[in-house]
Structure formats: structure tokens, C-alpha cells
Amino acid sequence: MLRIAIQSKGRLYEDTMELLTEAGIKLSSAKRTLLIPARNFPIEVLFLRDDDIPDSVASGVADIGIVGKNEFLEKQKDADILKNLGFSKCRLSLAIPKDEDYQGLEWFSGRKIATSYPGILSSFLNEKGIKADIHVITGSVEIAPGIGLADAIFDIVSSGSTLVSNRLKEVEVIVESQAVLIGNKNLSEDKKEILEELIFRIEAVQAAEDKKYILMNVPNNNLEEVLNVLPGIKSPTIMPLAQEGWSSVHTVLNEKCFWEIINKLKTAGAEGILVLNIEKMVL
């Protein structure tokens, strides 16, 4: 049985649960239980605060875990990053009051910076030879400059709206983060085998993301024109329709690509275009 540590509630929880579900892992729904075995896969899920996930994996309390890369880097625990998971994307940035004139990192010399990430910040400042005063607070970091607690902050930024509403501006991006799958360094062969199967499933889910299956009807005379518009990843399927002189064309496209070529497809003579979600894709 492989044990995976995931966040019990918070920003990572929903996407993590969705990923496990899409990978076909069904949990027996024992709410308020901290350790739940899957019903159909040799895995059990341990629910923790995200701060405790890196250590639980490094120490072997859990075999693998899902946590923000920011948190993993901050905790400096000895485990491997096995996979980027593509959700909870954010960055750790330095931000200062918006009316300050900013010319470069020297601005921070001798200033007080509030953060929940003292480890990452101090190694960054050391590397750059900047001496600043790091003030650790565990939440609501963005209000620190406004209430006179610090001159600047180092915190998570995503859309940037929290910075704006606290009259701050982002001046340096130090770490790009997203949810990552981490693993203990000494897994047994049995556990490695289960992990491989899990990663295989995660990759099938990821491959299908942003991909659409599209079907359209095309007069045979226009087939060549339509096929020219479709990007040639793999050759499309072409089947005759019951109606003489028409064919049905099926292919897989990136969603973004679809919006770029939709008008060209119509001009080329495609009709009745259907776009379907793809759940999994094994390449």
C-alpha cells in the first residue's frame, strides 16, 4: 500500500482530489478521518496541513505527497520532486509600496521585509549580497507595510489583486511555483511499482487536458481544403456520411488551436462542428 499525503483543506485540496478522482482512485468517504484507504487502488490518503507534507514524505511517514513547490522549497526536506502537476500556479515575489521609486535590489538593503518564507528569502538575499531584516509572519503578509510592520513583503502572488488592494507593486519574482508530486527517496520496489502506475494515470489525465475531440461534416469536394486547415498532429479519421457526397471528419485538437482555426474551417466548408471533452489520453 502506497501512502500519499495531501492537504486536508485549503487552496490545494480541491484540485488534488479532482486529480485523484480523474486517475480513477475512489476513496471510501469517511469524512473527518485523517487516513482513508482507496477502494480500488493500493493507496491510502493521509490528510495534513500543507506545512507538514514535505517532512512527512522525507521522513517516510508518507511515501509521496502533493504540495506547493513554494512550501517544499521553504521546508528544505530531503525528498524528490517527481512531477509538476500544473495546478495552483503562483509565484513568490518581493513587493513594495506602489509609490516607491524602484531601481533594483539595492532598494531592500537595510529594509524590513515581512514574509512567511524566511528560508527562501534569506538564501536569495545572501546570494545577492543584500542585507535586510526578515520579519516572519504566518498570514496576511500584504498588510504589513500598510500598518508600519515592514517596508516590503515577500509572498505568494497569483493574479496580483491582493497586492493592488494593499497598494503594493511586485518588483522581483523569485520562485515560480505550482503543485508538485514529491516522493520519499527510499521507496521499496513494491511501492515504486504502485507509484509508476499512479504516475502513468496522472500523465494520461494531463495529456488529455486542453485537448478536444472535434467532429464535423464536410462535402467531399471541400475535404482537401478542410484537411489543410487542420494541424497535422496525426491524420484525422474520415468516414462517409449516409448522405451522398459528404464525409465526417474526426480529429483531436488543442482547445486554443480550435479557436484559432474555427473560422477557417467554416470558410473551408465544414458544417455541424461538434467539440467534445476528452477525459484521458494514453500516448
Ligand X SMILES: Nc1ncnc2c1ncn2[C@@H]1O[C@H](COP(=O)(O)OP(=O)(O)OP(=O)(O)O)[C@@H](O)[C@H]1O
Residues that bind ligand PRP (CB under 6 A): 11, 139-140, 142, 155-162
The DSSP annotation for 197-265 comes to HHHHHHHHHHHHTTEEEEEEEEEGGGHHHHHHHS--SSPPEEEE-SSTTEEEEEEEEEHHHHHHHHHHH
# residues contacting ligand X (CB under 6 A): 16
Q: How far is the CB of 162 from ligand PRP (least distance, A)?
A: 3
Sign of CA dihedral 280, 23, 156, 10: positive
Instruction: Show the cell assigned to 103.
Output: 531601481
Burial of 34 (0-12, 13-18, 19+ CB in 10 A): exposed
Q: Which does 12 bind (CB under 5 to 8 A by kind): ligand PRP, Mg ion, ligand X, none?
A: ligand X
**How far is it, in rounded angstroms, from Cα 140 to Cα 165?**
12
Q: Which of residues 20-59 bind ligand X (CB under 6 A)?
A: 49-51
In the chain, DSSP finds a helix count (H) and a strand count (E) of 8, 15
Q: Which stretch binds ligand X (CB under 6 A): 58-66, 68-76, 216-224, 259-267?
A: 68-76
**How far is it, in rounded angstroms, from Cα 43 to Cα 114?**
39
Q: Which stretch binds Mg ion (CB under 5 A): 14-22, 51-59, 101-109, 269-277?
A: 51-59
Q: Which is nearer to ligand X, 141 or 230 (CB)?
A: 141
81: contact with ligand X by CB under 6 A: no
Q: How far is the CB of 4 from ligand PRP (least distance, A)?
A: 23
Sign of CA dihedral 156, 160, 165, 166: positive
Q: How far is the CB of 175 from ligand X (least distance, A)?
A: 10
Q: Which does 68 bind (CB under 5 to 8 A by kind): ligand PRP, Mg ion, ligand X, none?
A: ligand X
Q: Which of residues 74-93 bind Mg ion (CB under 5 A)?
A: none
92: contact with ligand X by CB under 6 A: no
**How far is it, in rounded angstroms, from Cα 140 to Cα 42?**
40
15: contact with Mg ion by CB under 5 A: no
**How far is it, in rounded angstroms, from Cα 141 to Cα 150?**
9
128: contact with ligand X by CB under 6 A: no
What's the CA dihedral at 77, 83, 89, 91 to 10 degrees? 40
Q: Which stretch binds ligand X (CB under 6 A): 8-16, 23-31, 104-112, 232-240?
A: 8-16
Query: Looking at the chain, how many residues does it have?
Result: 283
Residue from 16, 27, 50, 115 touching Mg ion (CB under 5 A): that is 50
Task: Summarize as ranges the residues that interact with ligand X (CB under 6 A).
Answer: 7, 10-12, 49-51, 68, 70-71, 88-90, 156, 158, 177
